[in-house]
Structure 1
Amino acid sequence: MRFYYFLLSILLTSATVIAQSEKNIDHQSILWTRYYNQLLLNEKWSLHSEFDNRLFIKPLQENLYVIRIQGRYKINDHLEAGAGFAYFSVDTQVPEISNNFTIPEYRGQQDITWKLNVNKVILMQRFQLEERFIHNANIEELLPGSTFFWRFRYRLQGDYTFWKTEKHLLKAVVSDELMFNFGKKIIKNTFDQNRIYAAIHYGLNTNLAFELGYLNSFQRRSNGIDFFNRDIVRFSIFHKIKISKKI
């Protein structure tokens, strides 16, 4: 319970600072598409990979693409842990400004996820830590070296199953995720962003599923004053591959 009070106090403090600051809010529309693969090695271990492309809609402009890979271990029916690596290639964060180069980011990530089944509802909490190495750049070119900082993410998610058969599934997904930066380079933008997400998830069979949702991302920019308010449509394909028939 103390942890929830701690999160609430940080959120309220961030909201107060945001409200008192003179800021510009840049509204953007983005389409996220991703392919998420789960390679099930056995009952405990799995290898997850993800390919994600993000595209500004107005004006039409590439935002970034992501490649992630992580190993996951099922501790018990309620706890799961994971660790992995992600590569980001960022074209631009402002669609009106298009560079002739991309900015790479290399990111380590570790998480622990707690899950609880309550009838047709699955509640999940994910605690994730990231080590971010972003290549230095100005408006003209990449510069030597990279900037390192940490980011902590907490996500609370609820899945409600409308109906489920042996092979098919239809459920609603709702989540809220808070992100905070910390490290020597973080001065003005400790609060990074808040993501609110709602989606419909359809399982075509036990190995293939589709998800369509809306995500609102309210993110503080690196100057610590201005913000992105992003309306995001997200389409996902989930694909499970079982190595053993016993799984």
Structure 2
Amino acid sequence: MKEIKAKPLGILHLEQFFKKIKLIGKVILMLLLSQKAVQAQKNITKQQLIWYGYYNILNINDNWNLKSEIQERQFVKPTAQHQLVFRTNLERKLIDKWNSSVGLTFFLQSSHNPNSESKQVIPELRPDVGISNKQKVSFFTILQRYKLEARFFNVLKDDHRTNEYKFSNFRFRYQLGLDFLLFEKEKSDKVILKIKDEVMLNVGKKIVKNTFNQNRIYLGLNYVINPSISVEIGYMNWFQQQSSGVDFYNRDIVRFSLFHKLSFKNNKHE
């Protein structure tokens, strides 16, 4: 009887690594091809924007984090506000590098047309729940996030805001990210390459022609100044389907972000 030799542990780990790389590559390729297929449709409006963001992480203890962010999103040529976003999420560590979160977003939506003379801004509330996973594999880190959010739009009467909000639909979001450490002098002095893709799907009775909501592809460079502060610049392509089902926005976005970490551990700020 022929003796079967067991593979060394190192080779098994290497094979698992390449399997994960192939799977991630297939997912990203599928998303890119599907987006290109949709872009072949007519009625695509091209736009250019700049996003400015401040992101704060308050580490309460080993299990709990409070995450907050503010984003200002503006059109370029002509300059006009597009969206203003306030978001807060309470995150709890689970098991095996998984986290859960619950949060609320307050969203102010201006016109999608930067040339519009309308100054009307429509508020929206978005409660959400989600889970995420962060796993280091060899020389990079894989990040996955699943989120379900409910969308409530402000009720307008005679083109004026009221104190009422009406439910519109649910939206499911899946984000896949890869972080590559490009340079590290010390723990507080490093450069990280970030690659992300996020797809969003609409769910609800009002959703007829735009189950696919949008896809966001992102490439960024993150510079960690110290354990508390990092800055990031990146490019995002935001491809969004409108409710008509045949009209789309294709947006090129430059993003500037500041990340700030604080900690309550040992009654000290990091």
Would you call these one fold, judging by a TM-score over 0.5?
yes
User: CA–CA distance in 2 between the matches of 1:6 and 1:209?
Assistant: 29
Asked whether the 8 Å contact 2:111–2:120 carries over to 1, the reply is no
Structure 1: gaps spanning 5 or more residues? none
User: CA–CA distance in 1 between the matches of 2:129 and 2:98?
Assistant: 14
Q: TM-score, normalising length from structure 1?
A: 0.88
Against the structure 1 CA distance between its residues 170 and 9, is the aligned structure 2 distance closer, same or farther, given a 3 Å change threshold?
A: closer
Against the structure 1 CA distance between its residues 161 and 197, is the aligned structure 2 distance closer, same or farther, given a 3 Å change threshold?
A: same
Residue matched to 1:58: 77
Asked whether the 8 Å contact 2:152–2:165 carries over to 1, the reply is no
Against the structure 1 CA distance between its residues 9 and 32, is the aligned structure 2 distance closer, same or farther, given a 3 Å change threshold?
A: closer
Check if 1:152 corresponds to 2:183: no
Ranges of 4+ aligned residues in structure 1 off by more than 4 Å: 4-19, 136-145
Residue matched to 1:240: 261
Alignment of 1:188-207 (within 5 A): 188-207=209-228
Residue matched to 1:167: 188
User: CA–CA distance in 2 between the matches of 1:12 and 1:60?
Assistant: 32
User: CA–CA distance in 1 between the matches of 2:170 and 2:29?
Assistant: 20
Deviation at 1:38, TM superposition (A): 0.3
Residue matched to 2:201: 180
Asked whether the 8 Å contact 2:45–2:249 carries over to 1, the reply is yes
Secondary structure of residue in 1 paired with 2:78? coil
Check if 1:229 corresponds to 2:229: no
Asked whether the 8 Å contact 1:211–1:237 carries over to 2, the reply is yes
Task: Select which of 140, 146, 164 maps to 1:127.
Answer: 146
User: CA–CA distance in 1 between the matches of 2:122 and 2:67?
Assistant: 25
Secondary structure of residue in 2 paired with 1:80? strand
Choose between structure 1 and 2: higher helix proportion: 2
Deviation at 1:181, TM superposition (A): 0.2
Residues 64-116 of structure 1, C-alpha deviation per residue, up to 9 Å, x if partnerless?
10000110011135211111000001121111113232100000111111121
Residue matched to 2:66: 47
Residues 7-35 of structure 1, C-alpha deviation per residue, up to 9 Å, x if partnerless?
9999988876775x5x3111000000010
Asked whether the 8 Å contact 1:135–1:147 carries over to 2, the reply is no
Task: Select which of 15, 20, 29 maps to 2:48.
Answer: 29
Larger Rg: 2
Instruction: Give the partner amino acid of 2:240.
Output: Q
Secondary structure of residue in 1 paired with 2:265? coil
Against the structure 1 CA distance between its residues 13 and 159, is the aligned structure 2 distance closer, same or farther, given a 3 Å change threshold?
A: closer
* Matched residue count: 244
Alignment of 1:3-152 (within 5 A): 19=40, 23-136=42-155, 141-142=160-161, 146-152=166-172
Residues 164-210 of structure 1, C-alpha deviation per residue, up to 9 Å, x if partnerless?
31322211000111110010110011000110000000011000000
Against the structure 1 CA distance between its residues 79 and 24, is the aligned structure 2 distance closer, same or farther, given a 3 Å change threshold?
A: same
User: CA–CA distance in 2 between the matches of 1:133 and 1:69?
Assistant: 16
Residue matched to 1:214: 235
Instruction: Give the partner amino acid of 2:140.
Output: V
Q: TM-score, normalising length from structure 2?
A: 0.81
RMSD: 2.9
Secondary structure of residue in 1 paired with 2:99? strand
State the percentage of identical aligned residues. Answer: 37
Residues 110-161 of structure 1, C-alpha deviation per residue, up to 9 Å, x if partnerless?
1111121013300011111110112245995558753410000111100000
The more displaced of 142-151 and 76-85 is 142-151
Instruction: Give the partner amino acid of 1:243.
Output: F
